[in-house]
Amino acid sequence: MKRREKLTLSKERKEQVVSTIKNYYLKERDEEIGDLAAGLMLDLIIDEIAPEFYNQGVYDSYAFMGERVEELLEIRK
């Protein structure tokens, strides 16, 4: 099985997501967390949760393409 590369974000995008996590904690939990804590939360999400969403996307794409292939066979003469 091929090893996946770790998902990486640009510096700007990572800063945006860290800010979103900090704002979430403040709004939903009335807690202030720092950049380090939010960055560690983002790393956890990237390492543990993102692969599940990626894999679901792969399975969904596979099913979609399988349906399109079946439709292609229907146009045979």
In whole angstroms, what is the distance from residue 19 CA to residue 75 CA? 51
Q: Does a structural domain hold residue 6?
A: no
Domain-embedded: residue 64: yes
With respect to residue 5, please indicate whether it lies within any of the assigned structural domains.
Answer: no
| Whole-number pLDDT of residue 74 | 80
State yes or no: pLDDT of 36 exceeds 90: yes
Does residue 26 form part of some domain?
yes
Pick the more confident residue, 40 or 71.
40
> Does residue 3 form part of some domain?
no
Task: State yes or no: pLDDT of 71 exceeds 90.
Answer: no
Surface-to-core class of residue 63, CB atoms within 10 Å of its CB (0-12 exposed, 13-18 middle, 19+ buried)? exposed
Task: Domain count for the chain, please give it.
Answer: 1
Residue 38: give the domain boundaries.
11-73
Instruction: Please check the confidence at residue 66 and state whether its pLDDT lies above 80.
Output: yes
